[in-house]
């Protein structure tokens, strides 16, 4: 990401704020017109205009409110474009293409962009505390949601590479992968975003952003909440239909990974990494006709003879007791594929 003194994080030219600061008060009207005329909204991009330009010359007062603030600041083409851009930037972050400092600056830019845009739409004066709190809160909400989606995507891409190493006797899409690294990174980044949101709120003088309340009342929960495990469950329990974490609040050991792969005629295997130790486990699925017995296993029960390799056996076991792997037939006929949240499946 190239960011110069004349280019913002979105790749658009910005104004030299030092020059704006030197403008005489009589030039304010001209500056407002210049900013309005310069702002051009496109379907897939949004242009940054520096928030400092308004703070220096007090131009927010020139934006008279003619309509109310929308329920969501992301409910129009500008907001949709910003949502997409936030997701792409979060993916870049998890790919190591974006630093903490760049992520923080980008969060600040999005808040400033949205504040200016809503003022130019005459939905806010730009100086209303309630409006500005709505902007920061809803931008945090989108960042936090795109954070967990990006973490899930990074986990999936890593799992796809493991999947590619398996032979043709195994079904292509019937796999599940879990790397605890992404669980903890997702949590750390969410806290970082919350701290950044409150730094913006403090700078704007609007109080404290209640991130917990935002997450608890969010509408963006169809694909899981704001934690890694619930989004993981949505993907592998509700979409792929082959694995589930019973208690989504359970923390994994930090160096744990596992990869489950289903195959033809009930053949299946699971690779498990406990730090430097790895084991491939054969999963003894079997078919008893109408019964679903033999179509689901608790991962902990499959690993008993592997725990002795670690002095942290209880830590690994406590998490793997929450993990269940099963066939697609089990997922469909048991109905687990349509169940959300914490759930201990019927093992028969």
In this structure, what token pair is assigned to residue 209?
């952003």
**Strand (E) or helix (H) holding 197:** helix 180-204
What is the C-alpha to C-alpha distance for residues 275 and 302, in angstroms, rounded to an integer?
A: 18
In this structure, what token pair is assigned to residue 46?
């949004």
> Residue 256's beta-bridge partner residues?
274
Name the DSSP class of 305: T
> Residue 270's beta-bridge partner residues?
260, 281
Q: Quote the pLDDT of residue 63.
A: 59
> Residue 278's beta-bridge partner residues?
273
What is the C-alpha to C-alpha distance for residues 121 and 177, in angstroms, rounded to an integer?
A: 45
Tell me what percent of the chain is helix, strand and coil, each rounded to the nearest 5.
50, 15, 35
In this structure, what token pair is assigned to residue 120?
């130019």
Q: Quote the pLDDT of residue 67.
A: 87
- Beta-carbon count within 10 A of 214 CB: 17
Contact partners, residue 314, CB within 8 Å, separation at least 6: none
Q: Is the distance from CB of 342 to CB of 246 less than 8 angstroms?
A: yes
Give the SS3 label for residue 291.
strand
Q: Quote the pLDDT of residue 48.
A: 44
Q: Is the distance from CB of 183 to CB of 245 less than 8 angstroms?
A: no
- pTM of the shown model: 0.82
- CA proximity to 73, closest of 120, 7, 39: 120
Give the SS3 label for residue 177.
strand
Q: Is the distance from CB of 186 to CB of 228 less than 8 angstroms?
A: yes
What are the mean pLDDT values of the chain's consecutive 10-residue runs (348 residues total)? 35 34 40 41 41 49 77 96 97 97 98 95 93 98 98 97 80 90 98 98 97 97 97 97 97 97 88 94 92 95 86 94 96 96 91
- CA proximity to 119, closest of 45, 58, 174, 77: 58
DSSP per position, 24-78? -GGGHHHHHHHHHHH----SS------HHHHHHHTGGGGS---SPPPS-TTSSHH
In this structure, what token pair is assigned to residue 188?
């750390």
Q: Quote the pLDDT of residue 52.
A: 54
DSSP per position, 70-118? PS-TTSSHHHHHHHHHHHHHHHHHHTT-S-HHHHHHHHHHHHHHHHHHH
């Amino acid at each position: 990401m190239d960011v110069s003194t004349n280019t913002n994080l979105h790749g658009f030219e910005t104004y030299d704020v030092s020059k704006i600061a030197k403008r005489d008060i009589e030039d304010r009207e001209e500056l407002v017109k210049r900013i309005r005329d310069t702002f051009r909204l496109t379907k897939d991009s949004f242009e940054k205009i520096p928030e400092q330009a308004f703070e220096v010359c007090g131009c927010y007062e020139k934006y008279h409110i003619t309509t109310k603030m929308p329920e969501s600041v992301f409910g129009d083409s500008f907001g949709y474009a910003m949502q997409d851009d936030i997701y792409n930037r979060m993916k870049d972050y998890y790919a190591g293409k974006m630093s903490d400092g760049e992520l923080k600056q980008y969060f600040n830019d999005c808040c400033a962009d949205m504040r200016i845009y809503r003022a130019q739409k005459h939905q806010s004066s730009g100086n209303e505390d309630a409006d500005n709190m709505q902007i920061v809160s809803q931008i945090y909400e989108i960042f936090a949601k795109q954070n967990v989606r990006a973490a899930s995507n990074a986990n999936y891409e890593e799992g796809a590479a493991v999947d590619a190493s398996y032979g043709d006797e195994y079904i292509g899409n019937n796999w599940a992968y879990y790397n605890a690294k992404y669980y903890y990174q997702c949590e750390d980044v969410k806290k970082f975003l919350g701290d950044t949101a409150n730094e913006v709120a403090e700078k704007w003088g609007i109080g404290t952003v209640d991130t917990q309340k935002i997450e608890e009342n969010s509408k963006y929960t169809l694909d899981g909440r704001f934690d890694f495990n619930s989004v993981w469950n949505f993907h592998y329990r509700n979409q792929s239909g082959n694995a589930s974490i019973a208690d989504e609040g359970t923390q994994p050991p930090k160096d744990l990974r596992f990869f489950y792969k289903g195959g033809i005629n009930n053949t299946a295997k699971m690779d498990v990494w406990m730090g430097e130790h790895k084991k491939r486990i054969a999963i003894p699925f079997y078919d008893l006709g109408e019964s679903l017995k033999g179509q689901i296993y608790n991962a902990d029960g499959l690993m008993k003879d592997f725990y002795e390799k670690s002095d942290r056996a209880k830590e690994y076991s406590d998490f793997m007791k929450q993990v269940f792997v099963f066939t697609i037939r089990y997922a469909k006929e048991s109905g687990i594929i349509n169940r959300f949240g914490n759930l201990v499946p019927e093992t028969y």
